[in-house]
Every structure is written in C-alpha cells, then in structure tokens.
Structure 1
Amino acid sequence: MFTFDQLAGFIAVAEELHFGRAAERLNMTQPPLSRQIQKLEKIIGAELLERDNRKVQLTNAGKTFLEEARRLMALAERAPVSARRIASGRSGVLRIGFTAASGFSILGPLLEEIAAIIPDVDVDLQELVTGDQISRLMTGELDLGLARPPFDRETFDSHLLYQEALVLAVPAGHPLTHLARDIGPKDFKDEPLIMHSPIQARYFYDLVVRTLPIQHGNVVHTVSQVLTMVSLVAAKRGVAFVPHSATLLGIKGVEFLPLPEGGGEQVELHAIWSRRITNPALSRLLRDFEFAME
C-alpha cells in the first residue's frame, strides 16, 4: 500500500512538472523523491509520469490518479483538524474559494454575513480562478466558491451574489475624460487596449468581445487579473474594460468612464457549491443563505 509521503511527492511533481522544484517545495533532495515516485508507480502498477532530460509530463493514468491523490490528501488533512476542532468546542471549517476581483468587492461583506450565520465555524479562504475553484469543488477540496459563469448546473447549485456594469478605465487626464457627452464605441476604437486573457480570464474575455466592438489589432497587453489591468492603465499603457468594482482599488492615475447604455452585459458573481454536500457547516449555512445574500 502506498504512503501519504508518496502521495505528497507525486502531487508536488505533478503540479511543478519538475523534480528539482518539487523536491525544494518538499524540503528534500531529488534522489529520494525520484525513488518515492518509482515505488508509487510499482505499487499502483502503472506509469504516472513521462520524464526525460528536458521535461516531465503526466500520463493519462497520472492525470486520473492526481485527482484521487488530492482527494485522499484532503481527507487525510481534514480528519485530525476536524477532531481537534470538535474537541475544542468548534464545529468545523468552511473552505471558500474566491476570485481576485471578488476579493476587493463583495468578499468582505459576505464574510460578515457568514460569520453571523455560523459564528462557530472557521473559514479557510483560497484565492483561485473559476476553473480551479470548480476542480476543487468537485474533488472536495473546497466547500463553496465565489465564481463566474458558466458552470454545470446539474453538478452545482448556485446563488447570484452580485451584478455590476463594465466601465472603461483610462489614464487620468486622458482626452476621453474631457468629452462633454457620453462616450461611444467610436471614441475608443483606436485606443491601445489592455485585454483580458482568453485563457486565464475567459469569462471577462468572452463578455467583452461578445458585447463590445473590440479592435483586436489594438491590443497591446493581455493579462489575467483586473488589478494588473488597472495598474497598466495607470502606467499609461492603454485603456481597459473592467468591472465597476475596480473603482474600489484606489489606484492613482486612473479614471473610470461609464460605457454607453446597453454597451455591455452585467458582470455576474455567483456562490456555487456541489449538490452533493458533505460538510455539515455548509448545510447549516445554506439554511439561511438566501436571506443573508439578499
């Protein structure tokens, strides 16, 4: 039977795709880590990693085993923690994933609501993009996610938390800030554009290209985080379409302009959770969840 040390070693190599970095992360040297993986593969009876002098890759068996390994490690880590919390009079822990943008908008008020409903439950926060939240909700590593659509509504239940408009972030003093009228698509069609990544920020990318007349030839930077976009605008690298909550960042050298009415869909943030609830703390929260979120 394999050990948890072997599972931890495999997970580290699978995530780093580099034995040296994985060994450093585990505070060990590379040779014993390599032997751990070899023993694990022998016990399982399948090759989990393809490695040569240049790269390390997961095999198909390795990809499948990685999900189960994470699930086992999460259960192993949760068991003693839960026992200690029960023994000390606390009823558990609620693990919540959140996007970076929700961190400077709704996260604070939401945590206050959660604390009011389940004050005896500790909250573990993890900043993750929506795709990673969904993966961890499915493996049981998260209980609740603050995420963007789309998501599988047969697998997940949800509650709409927040809607906001897109705005145009421009450098302070930009000519568009001096117009004595509402801006329109023609006003920003030739501006250098800081754009959302179509991979790491797929939701925002799809929303913007679906609802606004984007000139892709004007894109000068592609980034994944709203904070980075606004910082680049402040550096006068271009303009960017960001959610209205970005105005709360307080970054100097940036002004935010409303888009033409009907010029874009609302940005949505949902609370999502697996329909197969296993955490009693989440069940307890959801009994009053809708009332707290209204």
Structure 2
Amino acid sequence: MFSLVQLECFIAVAEELHFGAAAERLRITQPPLSRQIQLLERELGALLFNRTSRRVEMTAAGASLLPSARRVLDLAAKMAVDVRRVASGAAGTLTVAYTAMAAQSALPLFIRRAAADMPDVSLVLRELVTTDQMDQLVKGTVDLGLLRPLVARPGIQTREIMSERMVAAIPAPSRLAQPTGPISLLDFEHERLLMYSPTEARYFHDLLLRLFAASGSQPVVIQYASQVPALLALVQAGLGLTLVPASAQRFAPEGVVFRDLDSNSPADRLNIVHLDVAWSEESTNPAVAKAVEMLTRPEASAVGALGDPQADAAEETPGTAPAP
C-alpha cells in the first residue's frame, strides 16, 4: 500500500514538474524523492511521469491520480486536527443530565457558555432526577450531571456550582398568600403540605423535614411528587402549599403566590439549596474536564453567576455588568 509520504512527493513533482524544485520544496534531496515516486509507480502499476533530460510531464495516469491524492492528504490533515481537538476536549460529544430545576437555573447559562467556549462539542441533554443521574454516571452512559448533593458514590466526583434559598409556593386564594413580606414556617402548622418524594426527590424531602422540625411546625402531608413543576401544578390547583427553590419563580404558573421565608426563624440556617456538577473519575471523555473547569471557574461557580435571573440578564444584555 502506498504511503502519505509517497503521495506528498507525487503532488510536489506534479505541481512543480521538476524533480529538483520539488525536492527543494519538500526540504529533501533529489534521490530519495525519485525513490518515493518509483515506489509509488510500482505499487500502482502505472507510470506517473514521463522524464527526459530536459522536462518532466505527467502521464494520463498521473493526471488521474492528482485530484485524488490531494483529497487524501487533505483528509489526513483534517483527521489529525479533529483527533487533536477531541483529545483536548475542544470537540466531540458530551452527554449532560440535569434535574427539572437545573433546567431553569444552571443549564441555560451552561449551554450558552459551552457554545462560546466549546463550540465544536455536541451536547446531548437528558432530564433525570438526581438518583437516576448518579446511576447513569456510574454506568458511564452520562458524562456530566447537574444534580442535588446526595450520599457520595464511589468513583463519582462532585463540586458545587450554585446555591439558593427555598421559598413558599401558595395557592392565590389561600389566607397565607394575602400578606406581603416573609412568611414563618410556623404559619404552615396543620396546613396541607405537598411534599417531595422520599425516593426520587430525597434531597428536597429531607430538607423540608429538617426545616419544619427546626421551626417546630407540623404541616399535614397530603401528596407526594418528584419534580418541582408537578408540585407547582398541584399548588395551582389549590390542593395545598409547598416549598420550592427560589429559581422556580421563573416558570410560576398563574394562581401561585411566592413568599420568602422568615430569615429570623431558627430554621433559616438550614434554608439553602445546593446544585452540584458531578462526573465519573473514570471518564475518558476529554470534554468532561473542560466542561467542569468552565462550570467551576470563580466567576461561574459564585452564587448569582449560574442560575441567578439578574446575572443572566446582565450576561444577555450587551454593555451591562453582572450584578454584584
């Protein structure tokens, strides 16, 4: 089989029609150049050049080979560039899983930054609850997860990328929706609480239990759901009230009122929701490291940089500085 070196020598002679000039162009001496052309002709079983003491002419076989030889060398050069880009994480495919709330907070800004910093990396997006994301990360079917911090899994690395507070989501007709200002968790006493699933939404389920226990309030759980949008739909229907991350206010359905929680409550120190990026230590996808670096840069991981409406607006508005 002929080599890329032989094709490169052939193209140089074909374009220069002079062995001396072609050798100078390739920075080699003329004898090895002639040898490569002879080997190529022997491999192809065809004479590529008519040589005389005064001139060099391409044969019909040589003229036929030239465009194909150029395409092969161009393809080889592109292949080398593509391989280097994939190896550096600048190209390839990245499968990213995210929770429903991450889709409304961290994910949009991540996608915009990936488009700017990793334009040749194709993103495959999958909405999964945190427990399912962990399972898929362990199996290697997901490269990156945007999830809530749970019990650590062997081989899975996590790093916080944003945090926010929980707020009360209340049906508009409720007596608790009428006042303005912060609301105390004690006001939830004996109210109908829409609760997070203890299996599929264990992070939020456990957080609400801690918040109500710290405040001494005992609402009545009437229904469970695994996702914030489903809970907000139940609130909209007037079935009860719940607590959701503050970023949920972005996609609030009509008829749902949000109120901040009292910062003077004994439970206030517990009122913080974290979102992490997670990846497998055994991942062989170079784009993972590049994406993690992008997500955890100081300007990206600070509260208010990922998932904050003011920061998003500042980034989308030319000439506007991010909110401090």
* TM-score range relative to shorter protein: 0.5 to 0.7
Deviation at 1:115, TM superposition (A): 1.9
C-alpha distance in structure 2 between counterparts of 1:241 and 1:257, whole Å: 10
Aligned residue number for residue 249 of structure 1? 251
Residue deviations 1:220-252 (CA, integer Å, cap 9, x gap): 111111101111111110111111111111310
Deviation at 1:153, TM superposition (A): 6.6
2:208 is aligned with 1:208: yes
1:226 to 206, 225, 228: 228
Alignment gaps of 5+ in structure 1:
1-82
CA RMSD of aligned residues (A): 2.4
Query: Any conservation in 2 of the 1:161–1:269 contact (CA below 8 Å)?
Result: yes
Query: Any conservation in 2 of the 1:277–1:283 contact (CA below 8 Å)?
Result: no
TM-score of the superposed pair, with normalisation by structure 1: 0.65
User: Does the C-alpha gap of structure 1 residues 134 and 223 become closer, same or farther in structure 2, counting only changes over 3 Å?
Assistant: same
C-alpha distance in structure 1 between counterparts of 2:244 and 2:290, whole Å: 35
Please state whether the residue corresponding to 1:186 is helix, strand or coil.
helix
User: Does the C-alpha gap of structure 1 residues 181 and 119 become closer, same or farther in structure 2, counting only changes over 3 Å?
Assistant: closer
Paired residue type of 2:237:
A
Please state whether the residue corresponding to 1:212 is helix, strand or coil.
helix
C-alpha distance in structure 2 between counterparts of 1:287 and 1:166, whole Å: 28
Q: Give the paired residue count.
A: 209
| Higher Cα radius of gyration | 2
- Runs of 4+ with deviation above 6 angstroms: none
Aligned residue number for residue 108 of structure 2? 108
User: Does the C-alpha gap of structure 1 residues 177 and 284 become closer, same or farther in structure 2, counting only changes over 3 Å?
Assistant: closer
User: Does the C-alpha gap of structure 1 residues 183 and 154 become closer, same or farther in structure 2, counting only changes over 3 Å?
Assistant: same
Aligned residue number for residue 282 of structure 1? 288
Aligned residue number for residue 150 of structure 2? 150
C-alpha distance in structure 2 between counterparts of 1:157 and 1:257, whole Å: 35
Query: Any conservation in 2 of the 1:156–1:272 contact (CA below 8 Å)?
Result: yes
Write the mapping of 1:11-160 to structure 2, written as runs, cut at 5 A: 91-152=91-152, 155-160=155-160
User: Does the C-alpha gap of structure 1 residues 234 and 144 become closer, same or farther in structure 2, counting only changes over 3 Å?
Assistant: same
C-alpha distance in structure 1 between counterparts of 2:188 and 2:254, whole Å: 21
Deviation at 1:157, TM superposition (A): 2.1
Please state whether the residue corresponding to 2:101 is helix, strand or coil.
helix
Residue deviations 1:100-129 (CA, integer Å, cap 9, x gap): 111122210111112222111100001111
Alignment gaps of 5+ in structure 2:
1-78, 302-324
User: Does the C-alpha gap of structure 1 residues 182 and 140 become closer, same or farther in structure 2, counting only changes over 3 Å?
Assistant: closer
Paired residue type of 2:134:
I
Deviation at 1:289, TM superposition (A): 4.1
